[in-house]
Amino acid sequence: MSGQVPEISLDAAVQPVEITPTRAGSQTGAPVRRRRRSKYRPVWEEEPTRLGASGKAVILTCVVLVVVFPLYTVLLTSVSTTAETTRAGGLVTVPGELTLNAYTQILSGGVVTRAVLVSVGITTVGTLLSIVVSVLAAYGLSRPGSFGHRPILFIFLITMFFGAGLIPTYLLVSSLGLIDSYWALILPGAVSAFNVLILRNFFMGIEPAVIDAARLDGAGDWRILAKIVMPMSRAAVAVVALFYGVGYWNAFFNAILYINDNAKWPLQLVLRSYVLQGVNLPSGGTSSVDVAHGAVTGLPLQMAVMVLAVVPILLVYPFVQRHFTKGVIFGAVKG
Amino acid sequence: MTLPAFVGRRRAPDPLHGGAAREAAPAVPVGKISWRTRVKADRSLLIMVVPAVTLLVVFAYVAMLGNVIAWENYSPYTGFVHSPFVAWANFARVFSNPLFLDAVRNTLSITAFQLVFFFPIPIFLALLLNSVMSPHIRTVIQSVVYLPHFFSWVLVVTLFQQMLGGAGLVSQTLRHHGYAGFDLMTNPHAFLVLITMQSVWKDAGWGIIIFLAALGTVSPELYEAAAVDGANRWRRIWHITLPALRPVILLLLILRLGDSLTVGFEQLILQRGAVGPGVSEVIDTYVYYQGVVNGDWGYSAAAGLLKGVVSLALVMGANKVAHLFGEAGVYQKA
CATH code, B102: 1.10.3720.10
- How far is residue A140's CA from residue A204's CA, in Å, rounded to a whole number? 11
The answer to whether residues B93 and B46 belong to one domain is no
The pLDDT, as a whole number, for residue A196 is 93
The answer to whether A74 contacts B25, with C-beta atoms less than 8 Å apart, is: no
Write the CA distances from A116 to A275, A309, B135, integer angstroms. Answer: 15, 8, 38
Query: Nearest chain A Cα to B306, which residue?
Result: A165
- How far is residue A165's CA from residue A329's CA, in Å, rounded to a whole number? 28
The pLDDT, as a whole number, for residue B10 is 37
pLDDT in tens, B168-190: 888 888 888 888 888 888 889 99
- How far is residue A208's CA from residue A223's CA, in Å, rounded to a whole number? 15
User: Are the C-beta atoms of A89 and B176 separated by less than 8 Å?
Assistant: yes
Identify which of A104-113, A123-132, B61-70 has the greatest average pLDDT. Answer: A123-132
- Average pLDDT of chain B is 84
The answer to whether residues B12 and B71 belong to one domain is no
Residue B80 domain flag: yes
pLDDT in tens, B201-254: 999 988 888 888 888 888 888 888 888 888 888 888 899 888 888 888 887 887
The answer to whether A165 contacts B21, with C-beta atoms less than 8 Å apart, is: no
The pLDDT, as a whole number, for residue A64 is 94
The answer to whether residues B309 and B233 belong to one domain is yes
Write the CA distances from A122 to A130, A182, A185, A296, B106, integer angstroms. Answer: 11, 7, 8, 30, 34
Range with lowest mean pLDDT among A27-36, A85-94, A240-249, B68-77 = A27-36
| pLDDT above 70 as % of chain B | 88
Report residue B264's pLDDT band, with 50, 70 and 90 as the boundaries. Answer: confident
User: Are the C-beta atoms of A42 and A35 separated by less than 8 Å?
Assistant: no
The answer to whether B145 contacts A325, with C-beta atoms less than 8 Å apart, is: no
- How far is residue A78's CA from residue A56's CA, in Å, rounded to a whole number? 33
Say which residue, B326 or A1, is predicted with more confidence.
Answer: B326
Which residues are B85's β-sheet partners?
B72
Query: Nearest chain B Cα to A161, which residue?
Result: B312
The pLDDT, as a whole number, for residue B29 is 56
Say which residue, A320 or A121, is predicted with more confidence.
Answer: A121
Contacts of A143 in chain B (CB under 8 A): 42, 45
The answer to whether residues B187 and B291 belong to one domain is yes
The answer to whether residues B69 and B192 belong to one domain is no
Q: Report DSSP letters for B58-118, one per residue.
A: IIIIIHHHGGGGGGB---TTTHHHHSPB-TTHHHHHHHH-HHHHHHHHHHHHHHHHHHHHT
| pLDDT above 70 as % of chain A | 81
- How far is residue B197's CA from residue A138's CA, in Å, rounded to a whole number? 37
Nearest to A167 among B9, B273, B304 (CB): B304
The answer to whether residues B73 and B192 belong to one domain is no
- How far is residue B300's CA from residue B17's CA, in Å, rounded to a whole number? 44
Mean pLDDT of B316-329: 77
Nearest to A134 among B52, B150, B201 (CB): B52
User: Are the C-beta atoms of A214 and A223 separated by less than 8 Å?
Assistant: yes
Amino acid at A275: V
Residue B334 domain flag: no
The pLDDT, as a whole number, for residue B281 is 93
Write the CA distances from B24 to A54, A167, A196, B29, B226, integer angstroms. Answer: 58, 48, 27, 10, 44
Range with lowest mean pLDDT among A138-142, A156-160, A240-244, B40-44 = B40-44
Contacts of B9 in chain A (CB under 8 A): 332-335
- How far is residue A327's CA from residue A65's CA, in Å, rounded to a whole number? 28
The answer to whether residues B179 and B222 belong to one domain is yes
The residue from B54, B70, B86 where one domain ends is B86
Helix then strand count (H, E) for chain A reads: 18, 0
The pLDDT, as a whole number, for residue A29 is 46
Q: How far is CA A179 from the centre of its chain?
A: 29
* Residue A263 DSSP label: G
Report residue A293's pLDDT band, with 50, 70 and 90 as the boundaries. Answer: low
- Average pLDDT of chain A is 81
The answer to whether A170 contacts B46, with C-beta atoms less than 8 Å apart, is: no
Contacts of B166 in chain A (CB under 8 A): none
The answer to whether residues B99 and B115 belong to one domain is yes
The answer to whether residues B192 and B282 belong to one domain is yes
Residue B33 domain flag: no
Nearest to A166 among B158, B220, B304 (CB): B304
The residue from B61, B86, B111 where one domain ends is B86
The answer to whether A306 contacts B38, with C-beta atoms less than 8 Å apart, is: no
Identify which of A56-60, A145-149, B52-56 has the greatest average pLDDT. Answer: B52-56
Sequence-ordered list of residues with C-beta below 8 angstroms from that of B333, at least 6 positions apart, any chain: none
Report residue A328's pLDDT band, with 50, 70 and 90 as the boundaries. Answer: very low
Fold of A102-334: MetI-like fold (1.10.3720)
Residue B101 domain flag: yes
Q: Is B61 exposed, middle or buried (0-12, 13-18, 19+ CB in 10 A)?
A: middle
Mean pLDDT of B151-175: 90
Range of the domain at B107: 2-25+88-324
Does the interface ipTM go beyond 0.85? no
- How far is residue A202's CA from residue A334's CA, in Å, rounded to a whole number? 12
pLDDT in tens, B111-154: 999 999 999 999 999 999 888 878 888 888 988 998 999 999 99
The pLDDT, as a whole number, for residue B327 is 67
* Residue A274 DSSP label: I
Write the CA distances from B44 to A42, A223, B107, integer angstroms. Answer: 53, 11, 46
Residues in chain A: 335
- Report the number of distinct structural domains present in chain B: 2
pLDDT in tens, B5-48: 333 333 333 333 444 444 444 444 555 678 888 888 888 899 99
The C-alpha of B52 sits at a distance from chain A's nearest C-alpha, in angstroms, of: 6
Give residue limits of the domains in chain A: 1-47, 102-334
| pLDDT above 90 as % of chain A | 42
Range with lowest mean pLDDT among A33-47, A52-66, B193-207, B273-287 = A33-47
Write the CA distances from A265 to A104, A126, A268, integer angstroms. Answer: 20, 16, 8
Residue B30 domain flag: no
Q: Report DSSP letters for B198-211, one per residue.
A: HHHHHHHHHHHHHH
The answer to whether residues B255 and B226 belong to one domain is yes
The C-alpha of B157 sits at a distance from chain A's nearest C-alpha, in angstroms, of: 8
User: Are the C-beta atoms of B192 and B168 separated by less than 8 Å?
Assistant: no
Mean pLDDT of B88-94: 92
Residue B230 domain flag: yes
The C-alpha of B208 sits at a distance from chain A's nearest C-alpha, in angstroms, of: 11
The answer to whether residues B54 and B178 belong to one domain is no
Range with lowest mean pLDDT among A33-42, A297-306, B171-180, B249-258 = A33-42
Range with lowest mean pLDDT among A47-51, A302-306, A309-313, B324-328 = B324-328
pTM score, whole prediction: 0.83
Nearest to B292 among A170, A193, A249 (CB): A170
The answer to whether residues B108 and B194 belong to one domain is yes
Residue B333 domain flag: no
The C-alpha of A231 sits at a distance from chain B's nearest C-alpha, in angstroms, of: 18
Taking alpha carbons only, the member of A223, A188, A200 closest to residue A331 is A200
The residue from B55, B86, B117 where one domain ends is B86
- How far is residue A323's CA from residue A250's CA, in Å, rounded to a whole number? 21
The pLDDT, as a whole number, for residue B324 is 82
The pLDDT, as a whole number, for residue A146 is 84
- How far is residue A72's CA from residue A5's CA, in Å, rounded to a whole number? 44
Say which residue, B75 or A20, is predicted with more confidence.
Answer: B75
The pLDDT, as a whole number, for residue B173 is 87
The pLDDT, as a whole number, for residue B30 is 55
The pLDDT, as a whole number, for residue B105 is 94
